[in-house]
Amino acid sequence: MHNTFQIKTFEEYLEVYQNSISEPEKFWADIASHFQWHKTWDNVLEWDFTKPQIKWFEGAQLNITINCLDRHLPEKANHTALIWEPNSPNDSYRTYSYQSLFNEVCRMANVLKLMGIKKGDRVCIYMPMIPDLAFAILACARIGAIHSVIFAGFSANSISDRIIDSHCKHIITADAMSRGAKQIPVKAVVDEAIENIDFIENVLVINHQNWPVIYKENRDISYDILKQKVSVECEAEMMQAEDELFILYTSGSTGKPKGVVHTCGGYMVYTGYTFANVFQYQSKDIYWCTADIGWITGHSYMIYGPLLNAATTLMFEGVPNFPDPGRFWQVIDKHHVNIFYTAPTAIRSLMACGIEHVLPYNLSSLKTLGTVGEPINEEAWQWYFDHIGKGKCPIVDTWWQTETGGILLSALAGISPIKPTHAGLPLPGIQPVLLNSDGNEISENNVEGYLAVKFPWPSMIRTTWGDHERCRMNYFDTYKGYYFTGDGAKRDENGLYRIIGRVDDVINVSGHRFGTAEIENAINQTPNIVESAVVGFPHDIKGQGIYAFVVVENFTTDIENLKMQIIETIVEKIGRIAKPDKIQIISGLPKTRSGKIMRRILRKITEGEIENLGDTSTLLDPLIVEEIIKGRI
């Protein structure tokens, strides 16, 4: 491969894009031929959005780790694959060449085999941001096990739901982790999660911090012991293109997170291709994506995309404001980072800390900046462009989703037009449309509508684990013949897309997705709570904050204590990342006569739009709206 599919000019982009939609199969077959396949495909694409059934490169065989690692060894064995920057700047960073990463991955793959893990088995990975997490992911892929990474901020309860849903008999974890000044046990959370699950066969424990860990006999095993017993050679398992590569759970509008399934061949082709093109990665560039591997961005653009391109990828264990809000900029200077990819929420929070935390750093290594996860506001965009990019680095605002596997809308850095707050044009092979509420395509520009995609791309969701109907209902049923994203968008006069936000009951808090029902389910399990309604409200730093309206059974005067109990329940049921920003105790929810909660009214109240609530007279109890307005926080 080695970047021969990198587009170099805007004219070339226009031509490639045109070809990619007029002859998509030919286009993707060409791109795919840049990768290493054990056997090539019989058929490029077979698809039917009504079922949905999507098959890319059927009949082909491959292993993605051969493409991420083995393939680069002849020429790049000593080239740095991974730089690991620890939580504390006083600790030493580590680097892994392609050869040493290959050895580590094979070693761990052999350990997984020793544990009895086989092709097709699901493996739950619950770990801090340490190199072993990358090894674990790639080791699973090496032996054909399906990894299911769970972000380390999720609670025991969330882990256990996910383990049960995909029946993971094997878990990889670590003793403990550091996040800023805090040290947090990790293995103990796993212990709690699996206490009542009887099918767990083993838990592999990585020692990261010498934290005391209780090993359960015949179940828990230390990696340090097992790794002594294996070699650093491990032949890659041959996978069919449509075999599952991983599951990643994400929130939707229903209460239960769903396991988005990605498959080997298409995911490889799309993440490899888009990484090279969006970021315009050049050999020897140092690339840093700040996302946690627990989210799709970490999977696609910290691990797979960069490694498929023989890139140098930086992994950071810590947080942006530790030991001070200059940490990101310090790390950029320290490692001479050329391409920096982060979330708007991080930019906004660092911007709020003041320019004095940026000024001590030079940042001259930077060539390209990127954002992902949520809409970026004009002010944050400008600050990022002026103060971090020093006015010379293009910002790629990349729009995509867990379900899309890779970036669908974005500028190509330095090549396509950049317009602040706009994700921009579709990548080659992507056919976005805006639909009106009747589900008809709006063909002109300068319009707003529901964002959907009308043709498959290689890394799109194949199913939701264990429940294909849910996948159909969620993404392919609302607008027949389309993949529906759940987002609303605008298209400007030049065809550039701007994402407005979710149009379903999903809240995007600091780029993390939560279903309102998921949070409500948790709140309702607090003693003395009758029901609740959760909505997102505009938040200066997080993009959206969580506002919970809660109805209690017996009114209490100790509101603060009640709020604390609610927060504790959410932390227990979901995790600390889902804590509401505001909780308002009310005597009833605004409902229609048929009992439907009027979230639109609640949303408007939280946005301060109380003049503009529409007709409330048809509500079951119109007075409730007055009460809520008076008590709003």
For the CB of residue 619, give the shortest distance to ligand PRX in the complex, in Å.
29
CB closer to ligand PRX out of 345 and 606:
345
CA 512 to chain centre: 8
For the CB of residue 296, give the shortest distance to ligand PRX in the complex, in Å.
5
For the CB of residue 152, give the shortest distance to ligand PRX in the complex, in Å.
16
At 185 the three-state DSSP class reads strand
CB closer to ligand PRX out of 402 and 431:
402
CB closer to ligand PRX out of 143 and 396:
396
CB closer to ligand PRX out of 263 and 345:
345
d(C-alpha 104, C-alpha 559), whole Å: 53
| Structure-token match 């065809």, residue found | 495
CB closer to ligand PRX out of 104 and 397:
397
CB closer to ligand PRX out of 157 and 402:
402
Residue of 169, 146, 147, 149 lying closest to 158 (CA atoms): 149
At 287 the three-state DSSP class reads strand
- Beta bridge pairs of residue 22: none
For the CB of residue 411, give the shortest distance to ligand PRX in the complex, in Å.
11
Q: 199: which 2 tokens? A: 């099918």
d(C-alpha 420, C-alpha 413), whole Å: 13
Q: 392: which 2 tokens? A: 């010379």
235: which DSSP letter?
P
For the CB of residue 451, give the shortest distance to ligand PRX in the complex, in Å.
8
For the CB of residue 572, give the shortest distance to ligand PRX in the complex, in Å.
23
CB closer to ligand PRX out of 306 and 486:
486
Contact 148, 166 (CB under 8 A): yes
CB closer to ligand PRX out of 512 and 604:
512
Contact 171, 186 (CB under 8 A): no
Q: 250: which 2 tokens? A: 């994400």
For the CB of residue 343, give the shortest distance to ligand PRX in the complex, in Å.
8
d(C-alpha 81, C-alpha 64), whole Å: 16
CB closer to ligand PRX out of 501 and 588:
501
d(C-alpha 37, C-alpha 26), whole Å: 17
For the CB of residue 609, give the shortest distance to ligand PRX in the complex, in Å.
21
CB closer to ligand PRX out of 100 and 508:
508
Q: Helices 187-194 & 156-166, crossing angle to 10 degrees? A: 60
CB closer to ligand PRX out of 108 and 423:
423
For the CB of residue 513, give the shortest distance to ligand PRX in the complex, in Å.
4
CA 125 to chain centre: 15
CB closer to ligand PRX out of 328 and 399:
399
Q: 39: which 2 tokens? A: 């056997």
- Beta bridge pairs of residue 433: 452
Helical H runs in 384-504?
468-471
For the CB of residue 501, give the shortest distance to ligand PRX in the complex, in Å.
6
- Beta bridge pairs of residue 122: 146
Q: 473: which 2 tokens? A: 């209902």
Backbone angles phi, psi at 306, to 5 degrees: -60, -45
Which residues are CB-contacts of 92 (< 8 A; sequence separation ≥ 6)?
86
For the CB of residue 66, give the shortest distance to ligand PRX in the complex, in Å.
26
Helix (H) or strand (E) holding 26: helix 24-32
451: which DSSP letter?
E
Contact 257, 467 (CB under 8 A): no
For the CB of residue 215, give the shortest distance to ligand PRX in the complex, in Å.
34
Backbone angles phi, psi at 565, to 5 degrees: -65, -40
- Output the CA angle 610-612-614, nearest 5 degrees: 115
For the CB of residue 624, give the shortest distance to ligand PRX in the complex, in Å.
30
CB closer to ligand PRX out of 109 and 409:
409
For the CB of residue 315, give the shortest distance to ligand PRX in the complex, in Å.
17
Which residues are CB-contacts of 189 (< 8 A; sequence separation ≥ 6)?
126, 155, 156, 159
CB closer to ligand PRX out of 59 and 501:
501
Could you list the residues that contact ligand PRX (CB under 6 A)? 250, 296-297, 372-375, 397-402, 423, 485-487, 499, 501-502, 508, 513
39: which DSSP letter?
B
For the CB of residue 407, give the shortest distance to ligand PRX in the complex, in Å.
8
Sheet of strand 170-174, all strands in order from the earlier edge strand to the far edge: 220-222, 202-206, 170-174, 122-126, 146-149, 244-250, 258-263, 463-464
d(C-alpha 126, C-alpha 122), whole Å: 13
Long-range contacts for 621-630 (Cβ within 8 Å, ≥24 apart)?
621/588, 621/590, 621/591, 624/586, 624/587, 624/588, 624/589, 624/590, 625/590, 625/601, 627/586, 627/587, 628/549, 628/584, 628/586, 628/590, 628/602, 629/605
Contact 489, 451 (CB under 8 A): yes
Helix (H) or strand (E) holding 584: strand 582-586
CB closer to ligand PRX out of 191 and 374:
374
